[in-house]
Every structure is written in structure tokens, then in C-alpha cells.
């Protein structure tokens, strides 16, 4: 049985009035007290009420809440986010709405404007299943970008199909042994599965020993360590080929760091090793050849998320939907035919 507000207040050591005001998003309550009460309410299965400000008109606001892991705060990810937000604004404008851009707190609470229902809906960008998100279902209709709870509306890119195309590209060039670098996430494994499928159609393969994944893999120094690990697992004898002739990285940020590390290790791209990335978001510190990759339609994903949200407002009882947008192959100068059979 769910707790009463009075019992919750007793557990938290506050008055019933304070507990009620905190859960309803009212002013005059410290963030620490609010977080404590919300955590207790969630622990005991108590629904968290929310009241909409009576003066707030309908269908005028959309909250874009950009949520990313801490390690993804570098310049490439800021550019990534900015493109998504630009698309959100465009899609919202088509619906006669506006975007309020804000972030959720470190304790995974909804911002007050959501708890008070002063916005009509929320759009959350969630890069992987390790990224926390506020309690769901939300006080307002919500659309997730990239990944989300099973019962949520989600819009994403075709990770499997795009990576399958990259695998086919490498196979057509003659590559039969390919390595992979990425984070330990569901989306990364979809890209790996697509790459493997594309290669296998032409007799290629990805050996388990040629796969490196870690939960926190985006930092350049981590990519360097993962690249070194791949190379050192198969130290070639004089004149002997590497165990792989091509490498796919989870995104262009990782591909760029891997290319620079290969260069430091005396290997040429693409003459010795071909490299492909994913997303077409190049870090500003990269000074290597143009990366062969696939472009994610970030602006269109943002716009579709806003349209998707307003469709949900009009169809609140419709089944949850998962929308996948296609990517575009972007040829670069980091792939070539393998140097040896």
C-alpha cells in the first residue's frame, strides 16, 4: 500500500504541509528537502502528484531537456546537442510552440516547470541505457531521443542498418578481418551487429578478440588504450600482417582518436588500416584525413521529436511508438583496399 503524505512527512522528519508542497513542485522548499521526499516517495511506490499552473495556456510550450553522461561534455558533443536543439526548435515552431531548454538535476528529478505542468510535454535526449532519467511515466507527455524506457515513445537513428552498410562497404573493398571499438551499450552492440552482418554477406568476420568495448569509452585517452590493446593482442612479426585490416569505431569522435593513435604507432590510414566512424560529427582537434562515416540526421531527429510529442498530445491513449530515421553514407579518405590479401 502506498504511503500517505502524512506518513511520508513523518519518515522525512518534515511537516505534512512541507511534504505536500515539495511533491507538488511548490516554491519555498529547499532542493535538498525536495530530493529527499521524492526519493522516499519513489522507494515506497507513492505517486508523485503535479498540478498545472492555472494561468498556463495549453499547447504553447515544449521542454527540451538535454541529458548526457558526464564524459560526453566535450566540444563534439556540444555541437551534437546544438544540432538536435536546433531541430527541436524548428519542429516546435511548426506546431506553433516554443522550446524551453533546461537540464534535469543530478538526482534525476523533473524540473519544476514539468512537475507543475507548466509545459505541455518534454523531450529527453538519452545517449545510452546507463544515462539516468527522471521518474517515468512523467507528469507530462514525453518523447525520448535515442534510448528510453520500454513503455516510452522513442525516436532514434537506424544504428543496425547504417552499420550494415559500413560493413558492406568494407567487404566490397576486400576487407575480411575487421576490428571494432565502442562503449558497452545497447546502441553500440546494435552497430556492432550491423557491421558483422554486412561483412558476413561477403565472407568477412569480426573475431571476438578484435572487439573492444567499455562502459566509459568516449574519452580520447580511453580510445588510445583500447586501440593499443587491439594492436598489442596481435604483435605482428617482421612483415607479417595485422589480425585485422579495417577498424570501425562507435562514432567519429572515437574514430578520430583511433586514427591519430594508429598514426603515432607508425600505421597509415588507409594504406595499412582502413577506419570508419559513425555520426559525421568531427572533433575540432582532429587533423587527419576525412573520415568515412554515416551521417545521423540530427536536426531532423530533433524536429521529428517535437512533431512526435504533439502527435502524442492529440493521441494520449495510442500505443507507444518507436520511430527510426535513416542515415546517409558519407565517403571519406580513411578506407581503401587492404594492402595484403
Expressed as residue numbers, the domain containing 20 is: 5-43
Q: How far apart, in Å, do the first and last CA atoms of the chain sit?
A: 68
Provide the pLDDT for residue 236.
Answer: 56
Number of structural domains in the chain: 3
Q: Is residue 108 part of a domain?
A: yes
Q: Establish whether the linkage from the previous residue to 95 is cis, with ω within 30° of 0.
A: no
Q: Is residue 223 part of a domain?
A: yes
Vertex 265, ends 339 and 185: CA angle to 5°? 90
Cell numbers for 19, please give them: 511534504
Q: Is residue 274 part of a domain?
A: yes
- Cα separation, 123 vs 29, in Å, equals 26
Q: Is residue 337 part of a domain?
A: no
Taking only the tens of pLDDT, the chain with its 341 residues reads 567 888 888 888 888 878 877 777 666 677 778 778 877 887 777 766 544 433 333 333 444 444 433 344 445 567 888 898 889 888 888 877 778 777 665 556 787 778 777 788 888 888 888 777 888 888 888 999 999 988 999 999 999 999 999 999 999 999 999 999 999 999 999 999 999 999 999 889 998 999 999 988 888 899 999 999 999 876 555 455 678 999 999 999 999 999 999 999 999 999 999 999 999 999 999 999 999 999 999 999 999 999 998 888 888 889 999 999 999 999 999 999 998 65
Mark whether 291 and 322 lie in a shared domain: no
Mark whether 285 and 312 lie in a shared domain: no
The Cβ of residue 79 has, within 10 Å, a number of other Cβ atoms equal to 15
Q: Is residue 335 part of a domain?
A: no
**E strands in the chain:** 61-67, 98-102, 122-126, 142-146, 153-157, 178-183, 211-214, 246-249, 274-276, 293-295, 322-325, 328-330
CATH assignment of the domain containing 97: 3.40.50.2300
Which residue is associated with the grid cell 530530493? 35
Provide the pLDDT for residue 184.
Answer: 94
Provide the pLDDT for residue 232.
Answer: 85
Provide the pLDDT for residue 77.
Answer: 64
Q: Are 62 and 88 in contact (CB under 8 A)?
A: yes
Mark whether 276 and 195 lie in a shared domain: yes
Mark whether 192 and 214 lie in a shared domain: yes
Mark whether 122 and 173 lie in a shared domain: no
Tell me the whole-structure pTM to 2 decimals: 0.78
- Cα separation, 137 vs 177, in Å, equals 45
Provide the pLDDT for residue 65.
Answer: 44
Sign of CA dihedral 82, 84, 89, 94: positive
Provide the pLDDT for residue 261.
Answer: 96
Provide the pLDDT for residue 26.
Answer: 66
The Cβ of residue 30 has, within 10 Å, a number of other Cβ atoms equal to 10
Amino acid at each position: 500500500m502506498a504511503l500517505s503524505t502524512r506518513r511520508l512527512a513523518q519518515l522525512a522528519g518534515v511537516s505534512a504541509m512541507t511534504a505536500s508542497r515539495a511533491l507538488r513542485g511548490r516554491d519555498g522548499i529547499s532542493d535538498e528537502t525536495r530530493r529527499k521526499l521524492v526519493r522516499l516517495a519513489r522507494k515506497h511506490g507513492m505517486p508523485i502528484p503535479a498540478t498545472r499552473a492555472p494561468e498556463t495556456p495549453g499547447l504553447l510550450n515544449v521542454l527540451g531537456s538535454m541529458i548526457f553522461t558526464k564524459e560526453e561534455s566535450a566540444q563534439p558533443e556540444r555541437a551534437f546537442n546544438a544540432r538536435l536543439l536546433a531541430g527541436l526548435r524548428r519542429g516546435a515552431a511548426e506546431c506553433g510552440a516554443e522550446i524551453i531548454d533546461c537540464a534535469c538535476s543530478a538526482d534525476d528529478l523533473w524540473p519544476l516547470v514539468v512537475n507543475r505542468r507548466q509545459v505541455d510535454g518534454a523531450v529527453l535526449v538519452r545517449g545510452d541505457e546507463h544515462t539516468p532519467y527522471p521518474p517515468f511515466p512523467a507528469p507530462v507527455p514525453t518523447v525520448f531521443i535515442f534510448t528510453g524506457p520500454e513503455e516510452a515513445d522513442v525516436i532514434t537513428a537506424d544504428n543496425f542498418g547504417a552499420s550494415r552498410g559500413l560493413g558492406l562497404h568494407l567487404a566490397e573493398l576486400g576487407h575480411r578481418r575487421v576490428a571494432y571499438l565502442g562503449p558497452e551499450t545497447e546502441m553500440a552492440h546494435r552497430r556492432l551487429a550491423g557491421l558483422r552482418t554486412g561483412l558476413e554477406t561477403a565472407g568477412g568476420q569480426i573475431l571476438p578478440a578484435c572487439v573492444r568495448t567499455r562502459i566509459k569509452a568516449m574519452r580520447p585517452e580511453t580510445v588510445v588504450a583500447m586501440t593499443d590493446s587491439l594492436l598489442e593482442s596481435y604483435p605482428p612479426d617482421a612483415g607479417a600482417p595485422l589480425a585485422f585490416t579495417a577498424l570501425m569505431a562507435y562514432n567519429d569522435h572515437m574514430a578520430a582518436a583511433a586514427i591519430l593513435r594508429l598514426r603515432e604507432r607508425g600505421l597509415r590510414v588507409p594504406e595499412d588500416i582502413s577506419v570508419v566512424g559513425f555520426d559525421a560529427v568531427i572533433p575540432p582537434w582532429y587533423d587527419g584525413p576525412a573520415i568515412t562515416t554515416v551521417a545521423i540526421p540530427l536536426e531532423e531527429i530533433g524536429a521529428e521529436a517535437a512533431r512526435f510529442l504533439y502527435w502524442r498530445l492529440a493521441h494520449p491513449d495510442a500505443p507507444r511508438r518507436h520511430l527510426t530515421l535513416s542515415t546517409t553514407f558519407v565517403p571519406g579518405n580513411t578506407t581503401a583496399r587492404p594492402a595484403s590479401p
